[in-house]
Amino acid sequence: MSLSNWDYEQLARNPTATIPAQQDNHYIYGTNGPVLG
């Protein structure tokens, strides 16, 4: 799995987030649950 610049930006904002396989949808799972980026 490769990380895009968008993914790195999201991880920088929320280090506890995980990035799912379906990166096209850009879902971030943080403390508030799934959030569509």
Q: Is 23 exposed, middle or buried (CB count within 10 Å of its CB: 0-12, 13-18, 19+)?
A: middle
pLDDT, tens digit, 9 for 90 and up, residues 1-37: 576 777 777 777 776 656 554 454 555 555 565 555 5
pLDDT value for 13: 76
pTM value?
A: 0.30
pLDDT value for 22: 47
